[in-house]
A and B are shown apart, each in its own frame.
Chain A
Amino acid sequence: MALPPAVRRPASLVALAALPVVVLGCFFVLPVSGMVARGFFPDGELDAGAVLEVLTRSRTGRVVWFTVWSAGVATAVSVLLGLPAAYALHGLEFPLRRTVRALLLVPFVLPTVVVGVAFRQLLGESGPLGFLGLDGTPVAIVAGLVFFNAAVVIRAVGASWESLDSRPAEAAAALGASPAQVFRTVTLPTLRPAIVSAASVVFLFCATSFGVVLTLGGTRYSSVETEIYLLTTDLLDLPGAAALSLVQLTAVVALLAVAARLRASADPSVVRVPSRPRRPARADLPQLAMTALLLALVAAPVVTLVAGSLRVGDSWSLGNYRALDSVGDQQALVVPVTDALVTSLRTAVDATWMSLLLGLLVALAVTRRSRSRAERRIRTVLDGFFMLPLGVSAATLGFGFLITLDRPPLDLRDSALLVPVAQALVALPLVVRTLVPVLDGIDDRQRQAAASLGAGPLRTLLTVDVPVLWRPLLAASGFAFAASLGEFGATAFLARDESATLPVVIFRLIGHPGAMNYGMALAASVVLAATTAAVMLAVERLRVPSLGAL
C-alpha cells in the first residue's frame, strides 16, 4: 500500500465510517423519512395542506406550549436542586458520600415506565401523598421529569466542580471576599459552561420524554412526543404525526446546535486540578440539607413502589412476585413476566454490542485529527449525523420501522434483530458521547510517537488508545445496556406480544383492569429497576465522567 497520504487519510476515514453510515441510513434515515413521507403523501400524492392544517390546530399549539413550559420548569427545578447536591457530593467529604452519589444517579437510568408507575403509586388516590391531589396534574409530570434529570445536573456539574482549581477561590478569599462573594464572582463563572451544558441536555431530555408523560399525563396532558404516539396508534392520523415529528426534529437539531456552540465556548484555559474534597463546615449545612431533601424526593417514589409491590390486599406478601411467572388476570399478557425479563436481557445484550460496535467506529472516525478543512467538515457532519437519534421521537422511529422495513430487500418484520437494532440506535448517541471526550483527550503526538517508533496503525491503536479507552468502553456498554433495558418508545411499536420486553409488559399490565395485574406491574417494575440499577452501580464504580458531555 503505497498510497499518498492525501488519498490514504480520507480513504481510512470512509472505511471507518462506512458501516455506521450504512446502518444509520437503513435503520434510521429510511424509516424516519418513510414515516414523514407517509404523512406528506397520504395517497401517493403530495398533500402538504393536511400537514399544515395540523400545525394550525389549537390542540397542536397546546401540545407544543405544554412541552416547552413543562420542560423549562423541570429544567429550572432540576438545576436548582442539583447544584447544591453537586457541590456537597463532589466538593465535600463525608461518610457514605459515594453511596449517596450512586443512589442519586440511579433515577436517570430507571426505565421511564417504572418512574411513571412509581409516581402514580405515590401520588394516586390511595398513595401516601394522594391527599395532595396531584395525580394526573402537570405538577406530577414535572416532578417525574425532575426526578429523572437532577442526576444529570449533579453528574455533569459535579465533575467540573471536582476538577476545579481551588486557588483562584482562595485568592479571592484572601482579597476579602466572603464565601458567598467567592461563589458569585469566581466559582459560578467558572462553572457556567458546565451548568449551561447540563441545563441544555436536561431540557432536551425533558422535552422528548415519552414514558413519564404518557404514564402520568394520560391523554389530558400531552407533549409533542406522546402526541406523536397517540396520533399514530390511537387516531391513525399520520399527517398529524408526520408534521409533529418534523417540528420536533427541527427543534431538537436547533437545540443541539446551540448546546454545541455553548460547549465550544467553554474557556479552555481553566486549569483543571483535582482538588481534595474537604470536611463540611457549618456554612455547608444548607447544601447538605438540600442534598438530603433531594435524596428524600428521589427515595419517596421508589420506596412507595417497593412497598406497594409487597402488598397484596391489605397484608404484606410476596404474592405479586410469585405471580410474575403467570400471564396475569384475565390473560392480560401472552407470555409470563419472567419470559419478558429473559427477552429484555437477551435484547439488551444484542443492542449493547451493536451500539458499542457502531459507537466505537463513529468515535474513532470523528476524533482523528483532521488534516484539511474539507476533512474537518466531513467529521463535523458525521458527528452531528450520529446525534440525530436523540432528536427523533422514538415512536416515529418505531413506526417508521414498521412501514418501511416490511418488504424486500429489507423485510425484517419477523427478524429477531428488529428490536435490538432500534434500541441500539437510541443508545448510540450515549455511547458516542461517552467515548468521544476520552478519545479527544488523547494527545495526537502519542500516536505519532508510536508510529515513529515503527508501530503500524493497529499497533498504535493498541498502545495509545486502548489503554485509555477500556474503562469508558465498559461504562458505555453499561449505559447502552441500561438504556436498552428501559427503552419503551420504539419497542412499544416493534415488540410482538410473544416477545415483549419488560417495559412493554409493565405498560400493558397497568392498562388492564384487575388488582392482581397492578400488583404484578409494581413487582415487575421493581425487578426491572433493580436490574438497571445494578448495572448502573457497576458503571459508577468505573468513575467515567460522561452524561454531561451529551
Chain B
Amino acid sequence: MSLSLSGVSVDYDGVPAVVDVDLELPAGQVLAVLGPSGSGKSTLLRAVAGLEPARGTIAWAGQDLGGVPTHQRGFALMFQDGQLFGHLTVGRNVGYALRLRKVRGVESRVAELLELVGLAGYADRLPGTLSGGERQRVALARSLAVEPRLLLLDEPLSALDAGLRERLAGELRDILVAAGTTALMVTHDHEEAYTVADRIAVMRDGRLVQSGVIGKVWAAPADPETALFLGYARVLVDDAAQRLLAAAGLPPAAAVAVRRSALTVDPSTAPDGARDLRGVVLSARVTPDQVRLVVGVDGLGELDAVASVGTHPAAGEPVRLVVDRSRLAVIR
C-alpha cells in the first residue's frame, strides 16, 4: 500500500513542467514536495490526482492508475484556497463525499471530523461566514471524511497569515498522525515542510533533485542551491570550505553549507588555537534570542554568526568564532 511514481513527466503544450520524476511514498507517512514557484511541484500533485495527463507510471499498491479518472482514484485533493462549495453549509461540505457514497451515520461522522479540526458546532454555518483559517480546516475535514487512501495537499497553508500558518501547521501534523493518513503535500516553505512531513522531496525546474527522510536530506543537501532552499544561510566552496572544515575539525570537501548559528562568538580570552577563526564585526542586530552578526572573517569573507544576548559586539570590533560542526552540511 504505497504510492510509487516512476518516470512521470507532464508537458503543457510541449513545454515540460515535470520531467522524469521517480518517487516512493510508504503508507502512513507524510511527504512534502518542496520547491520554488514554477518548479512543477503543483503539476506533479495534479498529475497524481489525475487532473493532468502524465507520461510514465503513477501506481498505488502496485496498480497502475493510468486510465483511472480522478473521482475513482480515492485520493482527496485539498486546494490552497479550500474550494468549499459556497452554497452548501459546513456540515454538507464535510459530509459531501459520505453522502455520495450513501454512507450511514453521516451526521455523527461530520460532527466527529469538525471536532477533530477544532470546529465543533460549525455544521450549520455557510462557508462565506468563516475566516480563512476556518475555511481551510473545513476543507481538511472534507478531504479526510472518506478516509482517502492518499490525501493530496496543495499549499494548504500559504493563503493564511504567518502566525496562523505556524499554528495550523502543527495542528495539521497532529490531525494527519491522529487519522493515520498517507499524505502528499506541496509547499514552498521549508519550515512548513519540516513541521508537517516525515519525508521531503525537493524539486527544481521540473526535476526531482533530492528526496528522503527529512533528517537525512537536511544533513546532506544534494547541491548548493538545494542547501540554500532548505534554509542554510550560505554555501562556501573551495579554499573557504577547506578553512571552515579545518576549523571544525572535519575532513576537506568541495563545498559546505553553513547555517546562521554555525558560528558563535567565543567571549573567553583563551589563547589562540591554530584552528580558530578570527574576524571583524561588520554589522550587528539584536533579536530576542541572540545577536545576529555579519563578520568579515580572515580568508573566508563575509559570514553570518551569532552571539549571546548578553554580549553586544559593535561594528568594527574584533571577535573570535567557534564552529558548531552539527550546523554544517558537507556537500559532496
Contact = CB atoms under 8 A, between A and B. Distances in A.
A531 interface: no
A4 B50 CA distance: 10
Contacts of A452: 49, 70-71, 73, 75-77, 143, 152
Contacts, number: 78
Interface string A368-379: 000111000000
B135 interface: no
A3 interface: yes
With a 10 A CB-CB cut-off, give which of B49, B100, B143 has the most chain A CB atoms: B100
A463 B96 contact: yes
A448 interface: yes
A470 B47 CA distance: 32
A513 interface: no
Given A5-B53, A6-B53, A454 B79 contact: no
B77 to A, nearest CB: 4
Interface residues of B, number: 31
Nearest to B13: A373
A454 B13 contact: no
Given A445-B83, A448-B49, A455 B71 contact: yes
Contacts of A371: 53
B162 interface: no
B142 interface: yes
B48 to A, nearest CB: 10
B170 interface: no
Contacts of A446: 83, 85
Contact of B85 (A2, A4, A8, A464): A464
Interface in A443-498: 443, 445-446, 448-457, 459-460, 463-464, 467
Contacts of B87: 467
Contacts of A454: 71-72, 74, 97, 100-101, 146
Contact of A451 (B66, B69, B142, B145): B69
B61 interface: no
B68 interface: yes
B71 A449 contact: no
A187 B101 CA distance: 51
B310 interface: no
B1 interface: no
A82 B152 CA distance: 51
Interface residues on chain A, size class: 20 to 34
A448 B78 CA distance: 10
Contacts of B97: 453-455
A451 to B, nearest CB: 4
With a 10 A CB-CB cut-off, give which of B51, B66, B72 has the most chain A CB atoms: B51
A451 B51 CA distance: 9
A339 to B, nearest CB: 45
B94 to A, nearest CB: 10
A4 B66 contact: yes
B236 to A, nearest CB: 43
Nearest to A370: B13
B67 interface: yes
A450 B46 CA distance: 14
A6 B51 CA distance: 11
A445 B145 CA distance: 19
A80 B111 CA distance: 59
Contacts of B51: 448, 451
With a 10 A CB-CB cut-off, give which of B83, B87, B142 has the most chain A CB atoms: B83
A453 B76 contact: yes
Contacts of A5: 50, 53, 69
A467 B77 CA distance: 22
B101 to A, nearest CB: 7
Interface in B141-161: 142-143, 145-146, 152
B142 to A, nearest CB: 7
Contact of B67 (A2, A455, A459, A467): A2
Contacts of A459: 71, 100
With a 10 A CB-CB cut-off, give which of A3, A450, A453, A456 has the most chain B CB atoms: A453
A451 B70 contact: yes
Nearest to A448: B51
Interface in B70-124: 70-77, 79, 83, 85, 87, 96-97, 100-101
Contacts of A460: 71
Contact of B77 (A2, A6, A449, A464): A449
A368 to B, nearest CB: 13
Contacts of B13: 372-373
B50 A453 contact: no
Contacts of A373: 13
A456 B85 contact: no
Contact of A2 (B46, B68, B145): B68
With a 10 A CB-CB cut-off, give which of B50, B53, B72 has the most chain A CB atoms: B53
A282 B96 CA distance: 53
Interface in B239-261: none
Contact of A449 (B46, B72, B74, B83): B83
Interface in B30-75: 46, 49-51, 53, 66-75
B49 A463 contact: no
B84 to A, nearest CB: 8
Nearest to A456: B71
A6 B49 CA distance: 15
A451 B83 contact: no
A165 to B, nearest CB: 20
Nearest to B46: A448
Contacts of B50: 5, 451
A523 B122 CA distance: 59
Contacts of A448: 46, 49, 51, 70, 77, 79, 83
A443 B100 CA distance: 21
Contact of B96 (A6, A453, A456, A467): A453
B254 to A, nearest CB: 44
A4 B75 CA distance: 18
Contacts of B77: 448-449, 452
A464 B71 CA distance: 14
Contacts of B46: 448
Nearest to A374: B13
- Would you list the 7 A-B pairs with minimal beta carbon distance, nearest first? A2-B67, A452-B77, A451-B70, A453-B97, A449-B83, A451-B71, A5-B53
Given A453-B142, A454-B146, 10 more contacts: A5-B50, A445-B79, A446-B83, A452-B49, A452-B76, A452-B143, A453-B145, A455-B71, A456-B71, A457-B71
Interface of A: 2-6, 8, 371-373, 443, 445-446, 448-457, 459-460, 463-464, 467
28 contacts: A4-B66, A371-B53, A446-B85, A448-B51, A448-B79, A448-B83, A449-B79, A450-B71, A450-B85, A451-B51, A451-B69, A451-B70, A451-B71, A452-B49, A452-B70, A453-B71, A453-B96, A454-B71, A454-B74, A454-B101, A454-B146, A455-B96, A455-B97, A456-B71, A457-B71, A459-B100, A463-B96, A464-B85
